[in-house]
Amino acid sequence: MKKVLPILMLLAIFGLSNSIAQTNYDSTSFESGALPTGWTATPANHWVIGPWYTNANFPANPHTKFAVISDSTCSCSNSAAYLTTGVINLNAATTVLLKFDYLWEEWYTNTTNETFEVDYSTDGGTTWTAMIYPNPVGAWTTVVANISGFVATQANVKIRFAYGDMGTEFPDGGAAIDNFYVYTPIAFDVSETSIDIPTYVQDNTPFIVHGIFENIGATSVSSLKMNYSVNGGPTQSQTLTGLNVQTLDSYNYTLNAIPYTPTSNAGYTIKVWNDTINSTHMDPTPANDTLSGSFTVIDTVIQKVVLVEEFNQASCDPCAEAAANVDSVIYGNYNVVAPVRYHVSWPGVDYMNAVPIIGTDVQTRVQYYNVTGVPDARIDGSTDAYPGYDPNAVSLSTSVIQPLSQKGSPFRLNVNATYDGVKQFNITTTIKAFTAMPALKFFVALTDSLHYASNQSSESIPQYDFPEAMEQMLPTVAGTSLTAFAAEGIQTVTTNWTQNHPLATNSLPYDSGQWRVVVWVQNTATKYVYQAAQIIPTLMLGIDEISNVVGSFSVYPNPVETTANVSFTLKNPSNVTMDVYTLVGEKVYSQDFGTLGNGINIVPLETKGLSAGMYFVTLSAGGNRVTQKVTIQK
């Protein structure tokens, strides 16, 4: 069973061709087809030199020859196999960086998994200590690490790559490395790694340029002059002071002293660069000092809601391990996130995917995003992220979600949805564009949160709860085609569904916790999601009507154990009360919140005194009532 994590993106500029000298202590490729002088591989013939292995797990391009290890290289298990350098004399080096390219396809079973690490020795190989644990990746990836704290000023250094499969053969797993360097970088070198600007900017509204730079020189950075220009116009400059950015550390900067205010609707290009380090030193490698980006200025910019599509499975231990982080990020950013969780058919049993129409729709999204393993996620369609927490990888996190939500959107989505409490859903979405936009696709997903009384996993970590599981794409998984928008253009999409399949195929009892409607506008070619929205359908019980006072209304988390958040939008200031009823209509909880203001309101629902089960939460405001279903767990 394959566990796929996202590619580790430790980006740095490494210019061996620079005219500015850097000191190389070891510079190794494997183009000779043999182990370099002084290097050893133990046991013999486990690490080999390629090109080798036509399996797509080890693509040779652009690396024509490299060191590789897999059970297929020797038709044997690799309980512990090492690729070790010769002695590297670092006696005169106070700053030492290690760079290498690698692949690692990790495979595992319920009891065993592969391991891959980088170790060092300062006594010529007598004793070893681990210093780097690369992430599993499916494409050639570059690592640059500051290893000064391990090996600087040492004269008898060796470095080794240690691979192990715990004695179990994994024919398609393994690791490969190439382009190995140990070096001291030039003294002053700062690389611009990213700039953060809104995608859409409202005219005559100032915005501030944010970005990240990385110190890839040997000297710490205490100050840096930053510059930008828009459409080739005048240069705006700000010197960042009071810094302490060490080698290979990154710094998030904000140019708040020089905001930019666009005055007309158009597309703009911005160039950002640095040019003076520590007051007097010009950066000698200008090629990595500059980045460019673009933004569009329009009359009205709408708050961006971020679509999070997670791919998981009920019988998947890594999925279970990632669940806590996924829930934390989604519910911690609930006002700017629209979540959909797809249950795939591998690696084990998943009774939700086993429903034919669900499985078919999920597979369509899997193929669309080329998902090859779980857990996996796509953020706004175009960002591949690992759902769990990994400090060395692109992970689903608030630090990723919030900047995306601040990008702005040219679309406003107004969603109205009703549910009769049995099987009928009616959903109408009004889509307004505030600038001219091309033809796009509109998608609707119905999700539900399921709670099982018994464990659903066939692996080692029990799984009982499956929130926001995709149950139906409307009208189909292909979505609805939108025609091109003129500025201020409006299109309306209405979809209806009468539930015609179970939520899961097995006979074990489960509770249906909370239906949600998630909608989004997507460019199917680039996969970018311009805007998303979610809403919990108004439950039509025969005693309530669609409210003309209360807009969106949701209860989360749902199911809830102790305290839920009740989020709702008031169209006008109103006196608000909240009542909780059992399924037979008995009122068991009531609270008067007094007069609340228009806009989004969030109030707590304390459930500690209520028994486990299903309830109706009714919100009353301005003579209107809306109701949602909530499940309480103990």
Query: What pLDDT digit, counting tens, does each position of 493-508 carry?
Result: 999 999 999 888 876 7
Query: What pLDDT digit, counting tens, does each position of 150-190 carry?
Result: 999 999 999 999 988 765 555 556 788 999 999 999 999 99
Whether 12 is covered by a domain: the verdict is no
Give the end of a domain, one of 518, 540, 562.
Answer: 540
Give the end of a domain, one of 298, 327, 344.
Answer: 298
- Verify that 175 and 237 share a domain, yes or no: no
Name the average pLDDT for the chain. Answer: 86
Instruction: Please say if the pLDDT value at position 245 is more than 80.
Output: yes
pLDDT, position 11: 32
- Verify that 333 and 413 share a domain, yes or no: yes
pLDDT, position 547: 52
- Verify that 204 and 275 share a domain, yes or no: yes
Segment 523-539 shows an average pLDDT of: 91
- Verify that 294 and 331 share a domain, yes or no: no
Whether 409 is covered by a domain: the verdict is yes
Instruction: Kindly tell me the sign of the dihedral angle through the C-alpha atoms of 242, 247, 248, 249.
Output: negative
pLDDT, position 76: 59
Query: What pLDDT digit, counting tens, does each position of 52-77 carry?
Result: 554 545 555 567 788 988 766 565 55
Please calculate the CA angle 180-182-187 and round it to the nearest 5 degrees: 130
Whether 197 is covered by a domain: the verdict is yes
- Say if CB 99 and CB 181 are below 8 A apart: yes
Instruction: Please say if the pLDDT value at position 544 is more than 60.
Output: no
pLDDT, position 567: 83
- Verify that 310 and 416 share a domain, yes or no: yes
Q: Count how many domains the chain has.
A: 4
- Verify that 294 and 323 share a domain, yes or no: no
Classify burial at 29, counting beta carbons within 10 Å of its beta carbon; exposed 0-12, middle 13-18, buried 19 or more: middle
d(CA 63, CA 383): 26
- Highest average pLDDT, of 91-105, 157-171, 215-229, 317-331, comes from 215-229
Q: What is the token pair recorded at 396? A: 């689903």
Instruction: Please say if the pLDDT value at position 458 is more than 50.
Output: yes
Whether 2 is covered by a domain: the verdict is no
Q: How many CB atoms lie within 10 A of CB 126?
A: 9
Q: What percent of the chain has pLDDT over 90?
A: 60
Residue whose entry in the numeric block shows the structure tokens 């512990």: 80
Whether 120 is covered by a domain: the verdict is yes
pLDDT, position 285: 86
Q: What is the token pair recorded at 387? A: 């759902």
pLDDT, position 54: 43
Residues forming a β-bridge with 446? 472, 517
- Verify that 578 and 528 share a domain, yes or no: no
pLDDT, position 17: 35
Whether 618 is covered by a domain: the verdict is yes
pLDDT bin (cut points 50, 70, 90) of residue 99 is very high
Q: Give, in order, the Cα–Cα distances in Å from 493 to each of 395, 427, 521, 537.
A: 33, 8, 12, 16
The DSSP annotation for 237-266 comes to EEEE-S--B-TT-EEEEE-TTS-B---SSS
- Verify that 498 and 391 share a domain, yes or no: yes
Whether 63 is covered by a domain: the verdict is yes
Query: What pLDDT digit, counting tens, does each position of 269-316 carry?
Result: 999 999 999 999 998 888 899 999 999 999 999 999 999 999 999 999
- What is the CA 50 to chain-centroid distance, rounded? 34
CATH number, domain at 224? 2.60.40.10
The 587-596 sheet, strands edge to edge: 587-596, 574-582, 613-621, 624-632
CATH number, domain at 561? 2.60.40.2550
Instruction: Kindly tell me the sign of the dihedral angle through the C-alpha atoms of 324, 325, 327, 331.
Output: positive
- Say if CB 438 and CB 483 are below 8 A apart: no
- Verify that 333 and 350 share a domain, yes or no: yes
Residue whose entry in the numeric block shows the structure tokens 């007094």: 594
Please calculate the CA angle 37-41-45 and round it to the nearest 5 degrees: 115
Query: What pLDDT digit, counting tens, does each position of 178-226 carry?
Result: 999 999 999 999 999 999 999 999 999 999 999 999 999 999 999 999 9
pLDDT, position 121: 98
Picking from 10-14, 108-112, 255-259, 457-461, which range would have the lowest pLDDT averaged per residue? 10-14
Query: What pLDDT digit, counting tens, does each position of 479-496 carry?
Result: 999 999 999 999 999 999
CATH number, domain at 106? 2.60.120.200
Choose among 620, 630, 542: nearest CA to 574.
Answer: 620
Whether 283 is covered by a domain: the verdict is yes
Instruction: Please say if the pLDDT value at position 624 is more than 80.
Output: no
pLDDT, position 307: 98
pLDDT, position 208: 95
- Verify that 560 and 621 share a domain, yes or no: yes
- Verify that 488 and 416 share a domain, yes or no: yes
pLDDT bin (cut points 50, 70, 90) of residue 537 is confident
Instruction: Please say if the pLDDT value at position 586 is more than 80.
Output: no
Picking from 223-237, 517-531, 570-584, 587-601, which range would have the lowest pLDDT averaged per residue? 570-584
Q: What is the token pair recorded at 519? A: 């909608």
pLDDT bin (cut points 50, 70, 90) of residue 3 is very low
Q: Give, in order, the Cα–Cα distances in Å from 219 to each of 185, 251, 277, 357, 457.
A: 9, 15, 10, 59, 52
Top pLDDT among 325 and 557 is at 325
Give the end of a domain, one of 540, 571, 591.
Answer: 540
d(CA 430, CA 266): 26
Q: Quote the domain boundaries for residue 587.
A: 546-634
Segment 256-278 shows an average pLDDT of: 96
| Phi and psi at residue 575, to the nearest 5° | -75, 130
pLDDT, position 393: 62
Residues forming a β-bridge with 238? 226
Classify burial at 226, counting beta carbons within 10 Å of its beta carbon; exposed 0-12, middle 13-18, buried 19 or more: buried
pLDDT, position 106: 63
Choose among 572, 594, 570, 581: nearest CA to 543.
Answer: 581
- Say if CB 162 and CB 118 are below 8 A apart: yes
pLDDT bin (cut points 50, 70, 90) of residue 546 is very low
- Highest average pLDDT, of 49-58, 102-111, 385-394, 475-484, comes from 475-484
- Verify that 480 and 452 share a domain, yes or no: yes
